[in-house]
Structures are given as C-alpha cells and as structure tokens.
C-alpha cells in the first residue's frame, strides 16, 4: 500500500515493498503530478507486474508526466497533440481496445486532411508512445508495430533567390518588424527553428566568431560561424534575457507564411531559409564537409571544432562577402 506525503513544498512517495518501507522524493510540488509519478515509481519498485487496464486519457496524463523531465517542451507538445488527435478519431476509451484496424482507419482519415509526410510523422510519434504503454504492460501489443510509412515523392529542394529574399525582408520590415531580425538570423546561420529560439547568451562566442548550438536534433553540439550580420542582430537584442526570448515556434512559422504570401513568394516555408544558407555557401566554394557540419547533418564527414577554427582567411572572406551580398550592404 502506498501514499504520498508533502514535506515543505515537495511531495514524497511512502510505500512498503515486501518487508521494506521506502520513502522517496517525487521532485514536484504539484499533487496531481506527484500522484502520477508515485504510481509509476511503485510499479518500478515492485518489479515485473501483471497487465493493467488504462483509459487513453489516463495514459496520456501519466505518459506526459513521465516524459516531461526527459524531453523538450516542443517534443512534449507534439506528443500531446498526436495522442489527442488519435483519440479524437478512433473514438474508443481503453488502450487495450485499440487495434491495428483502428490505426489504419486513423491513417485513412488523416489522408484526407494532411500530406503523407505529416501522416508518417504522426505514425512514428504514436508508435514510440505506444511502445512505452507496451513496456508498462497496459497493452499486449503495439497497434502501430506493423504500420508501414506511406511512400511519397520528395519535393524539390527550395532555395530562395536574392530577389525573393529582398521581397520577404521588405514585407517583414514594413509589416512585421519584430520578426525581421529573426528571419535574417535563420538565413545567416542555417539554424533550425527551435535551435535559434533556444539559444542562450552563453552560446555566443564573439571573440572566436562562432555560435554553440546545443539541444540539436542529433543530440550533439555543433559550432556555427558567427558572421558580421549575425553578430549585429544579436547585439541589437542584447537587453533580452536570451537572444530570441518571447518567440513561439508556431508563431514564427505562421508569421513567415504570412510574410511570404504578402511578398508573393510561392511554395516556401521557414525551413527554406536554412536550405538557402547551405546552398549559397556551397555555391561560393565553401567545402561541403564544413557546411554539412554547420547544418548538423549527422551523415557529414567528421569536421571538428579544430577544423572550424582553422578556416582559411580566404574562406572567411568569402563568407563575409555572402553576408554583405544577402543584405545589400556596401
């Protein structure tokens, strides 16, 4: 029999396992979260356990509480959205009632609303979430286990022309000035949306001319050149608690779409600024290995920090010329 007790601001688990009494901090001041954590921890302490039944809502709450300290807020938001959308379509109450047929029906319903690449993203996310439910003995099998990704034709890589960039920055300057520097920053660094928004001032090394990018998609750190325009943008935001504090990821994407539409730049997404960064650098003769490493592509050849610091004066001057060219400076 277990219980939770509060000491000061923190809740503790109090449980007896066999002849042993265990008291452990649950690391939270929220009673609801503490109750969920206590349930998970008690199962762990009891070792192998028999199948238990759970509703989808109960499992979602328990899963997200478990995942919160382990994953980024962006990932938690994505997983919560995937579970909510899945539940809204399949219309069943318990986890153990979900069948592969329901998964197929979910995919069929999505196919009329979103692109195959988005469907595959939902499937990958839910497959991982239900893998945890399987490990926790809430289900006898993962209903997504045999679901195959949908085949689709990859769209051509979109690189924005100088004319398109000028139109985008003109609209941003006029109608969305708060977003101008952020969009320019994406173009100057090739950072992913969340990577730029998570930057801290400690990640900016002005003396060595690089940005330290952490919390990346590949779970590693990398060094990105700090071009003059990039540094100027950062200095203009010196009073913020972090370089881009206050920007929401979804708001940035939506705002870019509005700007592109007003600028009459078609078939583009925020990610095209990142692609354009890579394309322009390779066009200027910067070795692909360097560009791939700056982009955070895990398949790139091994370019270490020493290689970065060892950039030749010629390559650095070429990058400075790109910086001037993109923003029409003299």
Question: Is the pTM here over 0.75, yes or no?
Answer: no
Greater pLDDT, 268 or 2: 268
φ/ψ of 137, rounded to 5, equals 65, 30
The pLDDT of residue 330 is: 38
Do 232 and 261 share a domain, yes or no?
Answer: yes
Percent of the chain whose predicted confidence (pLDDT) is above 90: 38
Give the DSSP letter string of 55-99.
BHHHHHHHHHHHHTTTS-HHHHHHHHHHHHHHHHHH--SBGGG--
What are the tens digits of pLDDT across the range 130-171? 999 998 888 889 999 999 999 877 767 789 998 999 999 999
What are the tens digits of pLDDT across the range 65-107? 888 888 878 788 889 999 999 999 988 889 989 999 999 999 9
- Residue after which a domain boundary falls, among 138, 154, 170: 154
- The residue-averaged pLDDT of 46-63 equals 78
Do 138 and 67 share a domain, yes or no?
Answer: yes
Whether 217 contacts 190, CB under 8 Å: no
Do 206 and 237 share a domain, yes or no?
Answer: yes
Q: Is the pLDDT of residue 310 over 70?
A: no
Do 172 and 275 share a domain, yes or no?
Answer: yes
What are the tens digits of pLDDT across the range 291-306? 877 777 654 444 444 4
In the DSSP assignment, the letter for residue 201 is G
Q: CA angle, 82 as apex, 79 and 86 as ends, to 5°?
A: 145
CATH code (residue 70): 1.10.150.130
In the predicted model, what is the mean pLDDT of the chain? 84
The pLDDT of residue 306 is: 41
The pLDDT of residue 218 is: 52
What are the tens digits of pLDDT across the range 180-235? 999 999 998 889 898 899 999 999 988 888 888 886 555 567 888 888 888 889 99
Query: Residue 219 is encoded by which pair of tokens?
Result: 């779970």
Do 192 and 306 share a domain, yes or no?
Answer: yes
The pLDDT of residue 216 is: 56
Q: For the chain, what is the domain count?
A: 3
Do 269 and 180 share a domain, yes or no?
Answer: yes
Greater pLDDT, 296 or 12: 12
The pLDDT of residue 131 is: 94
Do 310 and 266 share a domain, yes or no?
Answer: yes
Residue with tokens 């979602």: 60
Do 172 and 314 share a domain, yes or no?
Answer: yes
Do 188 and 141 share a domain, yes or no?
Answer: no
Do 142 and 202 share a domain, yes or no?
Answer: no
Domain that holds residue 86: 50-154
Do 106 and 181 share a domain, yes or no?
Answer: no
Q: Is the pLDDT of residue 256 over 80?
A: yes
- Residue after which a domain boundary falls, among 109, 128, 154: 154
Q: Is the pLDDT of residue 316 over 80?
A: no
Do 169 and 294 share a domain, yes or no?
Answer: yes
- Residue after which a domain boundary falls, among 34, 49, 64: 49
Q: Is the pLDDT of residue 22 over 70?
A: yes
């Amino acid at each position: 029999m277990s219980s939770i007790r509060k000491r000061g601001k923190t809740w503790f688990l109090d449980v007896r396992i066999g002849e042993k009494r265990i008291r452990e901090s649950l690391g939270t001041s929220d009673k609801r979260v503490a109750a969920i954590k206590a349930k998970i921890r008690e199962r762990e302490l009891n070792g192998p356990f028999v199948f238990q039944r759970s509703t989808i809502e109960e499992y979602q709450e328990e899963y997200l509480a478990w995942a919160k300290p382990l994953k980024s807020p962006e990932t938690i938001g994505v997983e919560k959205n995937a579970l909510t959308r899945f539940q809204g379509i399949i219309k069943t109450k318990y986890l153990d009632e979900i069948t592969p047929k329901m998964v197929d029906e979910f995919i069929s319903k999505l196919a009329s609303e979103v692109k195959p690449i988005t469907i595959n993203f939902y499937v990958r996310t839910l497959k991982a979430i239900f893998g945890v439910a399987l490990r926790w003995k809430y289900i006898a099998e993962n209903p997504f286990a045999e679901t195959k990704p949908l085949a689709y034709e990859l769209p051509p890589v979109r690189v924005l022309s100088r004319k398109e960039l000028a139109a985008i920055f003109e609209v941003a300057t006029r109608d969305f000035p708060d977003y101008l520097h952020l969009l320019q920053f994406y173009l100057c660094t090739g950072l992913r949306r969340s990577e730029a928004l998570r930057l801290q001032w400690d990640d900016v090394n002005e003396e060595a001319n690089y940005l330290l990018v952490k919390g990346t998609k590949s779970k590693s750190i990398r060094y990105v050149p700090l071009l003059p325009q990039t540094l100027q943008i950062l200095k203009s935001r010196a009073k913020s608690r972090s370089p881009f504090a206050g920007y929401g990821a979804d708001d940035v994407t939506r705002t870019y779409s509005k700007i592109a539409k007003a600028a009459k730049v078609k078939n583009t997404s925020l990610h095209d600024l990142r692609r354009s960064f890579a394309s322009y650098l390779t066009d200027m003769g910067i070795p692909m290995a360097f560009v791939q490493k700056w982009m955070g592509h895990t398949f790139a050849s091994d370019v270490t920090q020493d290689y970065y610091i060892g950039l030749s004066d010629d390559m650095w001057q070429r990058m400075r010329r790109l910086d001037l060219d993109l923003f029409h400076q003299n």
